[in-house]
Amino acid sequence: MRPVPLVLLACCLAALSCGLVDDYPTGLGQGALPGDPLYPKPDPGPSGCAVPTDPGTSDVPDLAVSDLSGMAWRFDALALGRPLTEDLLPLVNQVVADQVSQQQLNLLLAVDQDDREAGTLRGRVGTATPNQDAWAFQGTPSEVRLGLDRSRFQSTDESSLSISVAIGTDTLTLPIQALRLFGAFPSDATTIGDGRIQGAITVEDAAQVSIPLYGTLQVLMETNEVPPDTTVGPDRKPAWSFEATFTAVKVPLAP
């Protein structure tokens, strides 16, 4: 039997998101069928972390844009996955979808340097705000280094990102460490598709993440008997894996 506070949380979130969608897509695992496991378990790597499957580049076009420097893309769709529980995923993701469409939740990826010869991109990722007809980072974004093969990219170094979702008068802020981004451009680089975010939320950070009507993310996970499944950093802090999917659209970047 699930704890009563979790049921209360589900009711609260359903009201805040204007009703529960019976079959809300999380966007996780393209081609998944009803009855498939919510969290498929890929083979762990040497460190115990899940190793993403390399989709290859045979199905993506070459970029017709010679230089991506100075370009930016706003996430126009975002679906969170683990470590949120199956009870919360449809509810939280409905709120996320609404806030993204209403430009209340804005994540921006910008490329500052495109070294096509080396096949690398250097950029920034973080929350953003509209600035007249353009978009500007809010606060200090995180630096990201990406490898580029044809039109597909993936992180070469770990970074960090905080995703904040307003739930009524409360804010659910997920501090993601060991962040890695994956995605693919069309030939004209006007959008990003097949976007994935992978990372981890440490037990230490989860203890500070407030879950309305329930407590903290740490309490939520422990109550539902979901143990930490990875570690973060040289001191190997215990953590829960984080996953999300996204798409993005090109927007003007404010100077």
| Domain boundaries along the sequence of the chain | 4-21+63-251
Helix (H, G, I), strand (E, B) or coil at 138: coil
* 18 Cβ neighbours under 8 A, 6+ residues apart: 98
Report how far residue 5's alpha carbon sits from residue 251's, in angstroms, rounded to the nearest whole number.
41
Q: Indicate if the alpha-carbon torsion angle 147, 160, 105, 31 is positive or negative.
A: positive
pLDDT of residue 192: 98
At residue 25, what is the residue type? P
Orientation of helix 89-101 relative to helix 4-16, angle to 10°: 20
User: Taking the CB of residue 8, how many other CB atoms lie within 10 A of it?
Assistant: 13
CA distance 216 to 29: 27
- The rounded distance, in Å, linking the Cα atoms of 172 and 160 is 17
β-pair partners for 124: 110, 143
* Cα–Cα nearest to 76, from 212, 184, 195, 160: 195
Residue-wise pLDDT tens digits, 205-215: 999 999 877 78
Number of neighbours of residue 63 by Cβ within 10 angstroms: 19
Q: Can you read off the two tokens belonging to residue 72?
A: 């930016």
- Mind listing the pLDDT tens digit of every residue in the chain (255 residues)? 444 343 334 434 444 433 333 333 333 333 343 344 443 433 333 333 333 444 454 577 899 999 999 999 999 999 999 998 888 888 889 999 999 999 999 999 999 999 999 999 999 999 999 988 899 999 899 999 999 999 999 999 999 999 998 887 888 899 999 999 999 999 999 999 999 999 999 999 999 999 877 789 999 899 989 999 999 999 999 999 999 999 999 999 998
DSSP 222-233: HHTT----EEET
Q: Tell which phi-psi region holds residue 104, choosing left (phi > 0), alpha (psi between -120 and 50) or beta.
A: alpha
Can you spell out the DSSP letters for 46-85? TTSSBPPP---STTSPPPS-S--TT-EEEEEEEEE-TTS-
Determine which helix (DSSP H) or strand (DSSP E) holds 218, and give its type and residue range.
Answer: helix 217-223
pTM of the full structure? 0.77
The kind and range of the H/E element at 10 are helix 4-16
In angstroms, what CA-CA distances link 185 with 57, 106, 113? Answer: 11, 19, 16
Residue 221, both tokens? 């996970």
Tokens of 119: 């096949």
The pLDDT of residue 58 is 56
Conformation bin of residue 106: beta by default, left when phi > 0, alpha when psi is -120 to 50: beta
Residue-level pLDDT at 36: 41
Residue 44 DSSP one-character state: B
Amino acid 224: pLDDT = 87
